[in-house]
Structure 1
Amino acid sequence: MLREQVIEAHRALQGRTPLVQCITNVVSANYMANVLLAAGASPAMVDNTQEAALFAGIADALLINLGTPTDAQVASMRLAAEAARQAGKPWVLDPIGAGGLPWRGGVALDLLRFQPSAIRGNPSEIKGLSGLGEGGRGVDSSDEPASAVPAALQLLQHSPVVCASGAVDHLVGRYQRQQVLVRIFGGSPLQPRVTATGCALGALLAAYQSVAEPLVAAVAAHASFAIAGALAAQRHTAPGSFAIGFIDELYRLEEASFRERMQLEVTALETV
C-alpha cells in the first residue's frame, strides 16, 4: 500500500510541478534549485522580510533551512512559517546545527510553534532539537540514524513526520492510524561528499508534501534520493561527476525505478 502511494506521489509531483519556496543557506541554494527542477518541482528562493510571508501564501510548499541564518533571514523564516500555517500550506524544517549551536537551536525550537508538516535532519540535529544528547557537528553527524529514533518520536508532538537521514534513513510518523518507523535503504557513500545534498533532500520533501500526506511524502523524497544515488554511483566514482550524475538520475526517475529499486521496511510502533 505504501509503495503504491509513493509511486502515486511521484506521478502527482511530475504532473503538478509544485512551486517550492526555499529559505535556505548560501551554500545550498544553487544545488537545491537544480535538484528541484530535475525532480519536477519549481524552486523560488524568496527569503527577504518584504516578500517572505506573501510568497508563502502563493507557493505550494515552503522549506526553512537553518544552514547559514542571519537576523534578517530568521525574521523571514518566522513570517513565512506563520503565513504557511495560516494558508494551510505544508512546510519543512531542516534544523541544521540545532544540536551544537545554541542560537540557531533556539531559532529552530521557536519555529516549532508554527507546526511544520515535516522535520528533516541528520541524527545529531534531530537529537539536538528534541533536547536529547549532544554531539552536533554542524552539517555533519556523529550519530547513527537509529540512535535518533527516540528523539524523533518526541518531536512528533510538533510535526506529523520526523526524518533522520543517513546511510539508512529512519522516518517516524503516523500512517493508517499507527505510529510507524520506516527504514529506507540504498543511496551511495558519495552523497555525503557532495555539499547541499541533505539540504536539497529537505526541499524535495517540501515539494512532495504538496502532493501527498506527510509520511508518504517523506518516504517518496527519501526513496527518490536513495534510488538516484545508487544509480548515479554505477556511473560515477568521484564526488564532482557524481553530483551532476545524481541530478541526471533524479530527472530520469520513472515508476519502474521505484518498483524495481525502492527498498524500505515499515515497522508499526503503536496505535494512535
Structure 2
Amino acid sequence: MTSPGGRRTVLQIPPLAARSQEIRERTAHAHQRGLDIVWFTPATHDPPWLTTVPAVRVTSPAQPGAPWTAPAAVQALTREACSCGPAWGHGAHRTWAPPQPAPLSVLLEDLLARRLVHTTVQTELPGRRFIAWARGQDVRAEAEHLRTLATTAGALTEAARSSTPYTPRPDGRSAAPLGRLLEAARHWGRQTTGEVCHIETPSANWMAGGLVVTPSRRPPGSTLPEVTAVVRPLPHKLAWNSALSTVPVLVGSPEEYFTLRRTAPQTAQILIL
C-alpha cells in the first residue's frame, strides 16, 4: 500500500509456524529497501516475534459485514499518582495505559499516515516503554520525561533514602501495590529460566528488603541459580557491594530505575518491567 505522501508499506500475514529469525530478517530486508512493513496475526496467536517487529493482532468480525478489529493496538501516555510505596515517594509517574482496541480500518489509516510508532523504536534512555503502538507525540513526551528523570535522579535517590520504610509482601497486598510488577516478574522469570517461578520474602540482608523471584522446580543437575532476581529492593537498605550487584534487579517504573541507577555500579543489571 502507498500513503498519500508516497511512502510504501508492506502488509504481511506470516504462517502461524513462522520462526522469529525469519520474521526479523524479512522485516530488516524491507527496511533496507526503504519500505515500511507491518505483520498481522490472529488475536488468539501469541508468537514470540510479536514485540520484536511492527505487528498487529487482529480479530475477525463476529457477524458478516462487521468490521475487523485490533483488540489491543494503541496505547496512550498518562499521568498517575505514584504507587511505589512510602520508601520511594516519587509524586507522579508518566505511564502507558493498557493497549486499547481499534477498528482495523482506522488503524491502517494511521499506520499509512505514519501517525503511530511501534514499540521496537528505542530511545536513548532506558525506561518502561509501550508494548504495542503509540502516537508520535506520546513517544516524544515520554522521551522528554526520561531525560528529566535522568537529570533529577539525585533528588529521587535522596528522597527515597529519607522516606518511611515499609515491608512488601509477596502477594502484592502491601503499602505499595505490587500486583502488576509481581505478575510481570513471574513472567520474566519463566522466560529467563524456562521454569515456572514464584515470589518469596527475602531471607538475606543483601536482598535489601526486596522480594525474590525463584524457580518453583529445580530439575536434577540444574544449573539454575536459587535466586533468579530481586524485585524492588528498598533504597535505604541497598548495599551494591554485596551479591545484589550480580543478580538482576526488577523494578516497575522509570522513576524507580533512576532512583537505583544513580548509586548502582555500572555492572548492575536493573530492568524495568
Give yes or no for TM over 0.5: no
Choose between structure 1 and 2 for higher RCO, CA contacts under 8 A separated by at least 6 residues: 1
Q: Give the TM-score band, short-chain normalised.
A: under 0.3
Instruction: Compute the TM-score of the two structures, normalised by the length of structure 2.
Output: 0.24
